């Protein structure tokens, strides 16, 4: 297993994330409907809106996951935010970054992962909209476009929230 490295813009990224004023806030229907839609559309047991904080990933919205956060060091989304394209891991057993990962060997027994980075207008990837399955699978071009569309809607809500938030 490999812990996700920190992106080059990590201080700026963390600052942008915290300026969203969203960490540790209650669930919101406008995000929950997107993860619910994703889980139903892709027939996956777990869909998450994950935000990558300094030492944890925290889930603003979650379907099929009891925990509200996990350590960043074992997070798949920590890897996904290192790129702008959707990160797809069709079979975690074929990817050395995740072999032995506690999220693979234990609950939720991840076998498949796809994470669409949430890239803020300033260029910071603050998290992902991600899909998790407990069996290997693939995504075709239509799937990737749908996941990208859902991600864009989630990002729109995140930015809207930021614009509507009071100035700290």
Q: Measure the CA–CA gap between 22 and 26, rounded to whole angstroms.
A: 9
Chosen residue from 153, 159, 161, 162 binding other proteins by CB under 8 A: 153
Binding mask 122-151 for other proteins (x = CB under 8 A): -------------------xxx-xx-xxx-
In this complex, which beta carbon is closest to other proteins, that of residue 66 or of residue 141? 141
Among the listed ranges 2-10, 36-44, 58-66, 158-166, the one in contact with other proteins (CB under 8 A) is: 36-44
Three-class secondary structure of residue 134 per DSSP: coil
Tell me if residue 113 falls in helix, strand or coil.
strand
Dihedral sign (CA 88, 36, 143, 159): negative
Query: Is residue 71 helix, strand or coil?
Result: strand
Asked if residue 110 lies in contact with residue 63, where contact means CB atoms within 8 angstroms, the answer is no
32 binding other proteins? (CB under 8 A): no
Which residues of this protein are in contact with other proteins, per CB under 8 A? Answer: 33-34, 37, 40-41, 141-143, 145-146, 148-150, 152-153
């Amino acid at each position: 297993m490999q812990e996700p490295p920190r992106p080059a813009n990590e201080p700026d990224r963390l600052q942008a994330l915290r300026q969203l004023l969203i960490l540790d806030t209650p669930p919101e229907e406008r995000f929950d409907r997107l993860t619910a839609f994703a889980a139903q559309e892709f027939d996956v047991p777990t869909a998450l809106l994950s935000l990558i904080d300094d030492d944890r990933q925290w889930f603003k919205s979650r379907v099929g996951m009891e925990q509200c956060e996990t350590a960043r060091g074992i997070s798949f989304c920590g890897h996904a935010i290192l790129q702008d394209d959707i990160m797809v891991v069709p079979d975690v057993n074929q990817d050395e970054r995740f072999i032995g990962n506690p999220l693979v060997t234990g609950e939720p027994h991840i076998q498949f992962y796809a994470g669409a980075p949430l890239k803020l207008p300033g260029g910071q990837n603050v998290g992902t909209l991600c899909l998790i399955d407990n069996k290997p699978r693939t995504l075709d071009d239509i799937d990737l476009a749908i996941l990208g569309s859902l991600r864009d809607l989630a990002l729109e809500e995140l930015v809207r929230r930021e614009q509507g938030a009071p100035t700290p």
